[in-house]
Amino acid sequence: MTVKLNEKAFEHAKHLVRQGQTTKDERDDWSEHAPTADEQNAYLDKHGWDEYSLWFLGVDSDMDDETKGHYEFPYGDFRRVHRCGVISAESRAAQYNHSAIQKALEEIHELLDGEHA
């Protein structure tokens, strides 16, 4: 498995934070706030793979790019960046030694925590 940083998603996440499209939730909220499989499918049906990909900071180059398995490290709910999603993904990236993704998530986390400070 080769997972690398999705640069377009990274730029998208930073743009959303700068626009204030965020939810400042707590670390453990992600299990409740993460999009369900049905919500992911509905978003895919309406917006397609290009838009779907913008919500995942990692891509697995071993998987076909038109499969959900290609996309990893979600950070939001297809509307807003969730602080809990960023923190959860940041922990997973560190755990699996995806340093570029971890660094990107740390930057997004800092932006979120500094937003309107």
| Sign of the CA dihedral running 109, 102, 42, 52 | positive
Q: What are 8-38's pLDDT values in tens digits?
A: 999 999 999 999 999 998 878 999 999 999 9
Alpha-carbon distance 45 to 86, whole Å?
Answer: 25
Counting the structural domains of the chain, the total is 1
| Sign of the CA dihedral running 94, 102, 116, 56 | negative
Q: What are 46-91's pLDDT values in tens digits?
A: 999 999 999 999 999 999 999 999 999 999 999 999 999 999 999 9
Task: Confirm if 72 and 56 have CB atoms less than 8 A apart.
Answer: yes
| Domain containing residue 41 | 3-114
